[in-house]
């Protein structure tokens, strides 16, 4: 089954409808690092990363990985080796910290955009993560925690997400 972004505020999965938010500048066929756009396409999903100091392991068929203080996602366009990958914090690399003070990354599912044959500068750190007020994201898709937890129960490692322009 596939999660479908129906429009910029609605995700569909089977008979479930979830309110969401996407990138501040909408959708993009050709994404560029820092453009605040959500990439268009059909993508597989990564493992669930979660804060086990704040939440118990959720019911899901996805592999669950606790977020540690030293975990980050490399968004450094100068790094061919680490760009758009989960890494340990490195002071000399620009990165997105996953262990945050706020709640947004208490649950994260990386969307496998630009992860195979990575193209430097084509966008990185595209996640499904949490929101409370549905504010626009930097390119991710955000859901409220209650909806995220419902979605986690429904999906598995073969689930894909389809992000397309609304008709």
CATH number at residue 113: 2.40.440
Higher pLDDT, 90 or 5: 5
**Mean pLDDT of the region 17-45:** 97
| Confidence at residue 167, expressed as pLDDT on a 0 to 100 scale | 60
Confidence tier at 106 by pLDDT (50, 70, 90): very high
**Mean pLDDT of the region 26-38:** 96
DSSP state of 100: -
**Mean pLDDT of the region 18-26:** 97
Confidence tier at 111 by pLDDT (50, 70, 90): very high
Q: Are 83 and 74 in contact (CB under 8 A)?
A: yes
**Cα distance between residue 117 and residue 98, in whole Å:** 23
Confidence tier at 165 by pLDDT (50, 70, 90): confident
User: Within 10 Å of residue 30's Cβ, how many Cβ atoms?
Assistant: 10
Split into its structural domains, the chain has a count of 1
Confidence tier at 35 by pLDDT (50, 70, 90): very high
| Confidence at residue 46, expressed as pLDDT on a 0 to 100 scale | 97
Who's near 75: CB < 8 A, 6+ residues apart? 33, 83, 84, 94, 95, 96, 124, 125
pLDDT at 50 over 90: yes
Cross-strand pairs, 111: 45
Confidence tier at 146 by pLDDT (50, 70, 90): very high
Cα 139-140-141 angle, rounded to 5 deg: 130
**Mean pLDDT of the region 18-30:** 96
Q: Which domain holds residue 142?
A: 2-163
| Confidence at residue 91, expressed as pLDDT on a 0 to 100 scale | 82
């Amino acid at each position: 089954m596939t999660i479908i972004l129906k429009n910029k505020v609605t995700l569909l999965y089977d008979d479930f409808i979830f309110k969401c938010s996407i990138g501040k500048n909408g959708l993009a066929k050709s994404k560029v690092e820092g453009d605040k756009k959500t990439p268009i396409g059909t993508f597989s999903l990564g493992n669930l990363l979660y804060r086990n100091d704040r939440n118990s392991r959720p019911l899901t068929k996805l592999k669950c990985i606790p977020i540690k203080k030293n975990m980050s996602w490399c968004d450094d366009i100068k790094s061919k080796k680490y760009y758009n990958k989960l890494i340990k914090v490195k002071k000399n690399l620009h990165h997105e910290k996953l262990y945050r003070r706020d709640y947004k990354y208490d649950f994260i599912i990386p969307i496998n955009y630009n992860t195979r044959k990575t193209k430097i500068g084509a966008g990185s750190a595209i996640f499904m993560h949490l929101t409370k007020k549905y504010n626009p994201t930097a390119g991710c898709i955000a859901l409220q925690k209650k909806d995220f937890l419902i979605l986690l129960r429904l999906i598995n490692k073969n689930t894909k997400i389809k992000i397309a322009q609304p008709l």
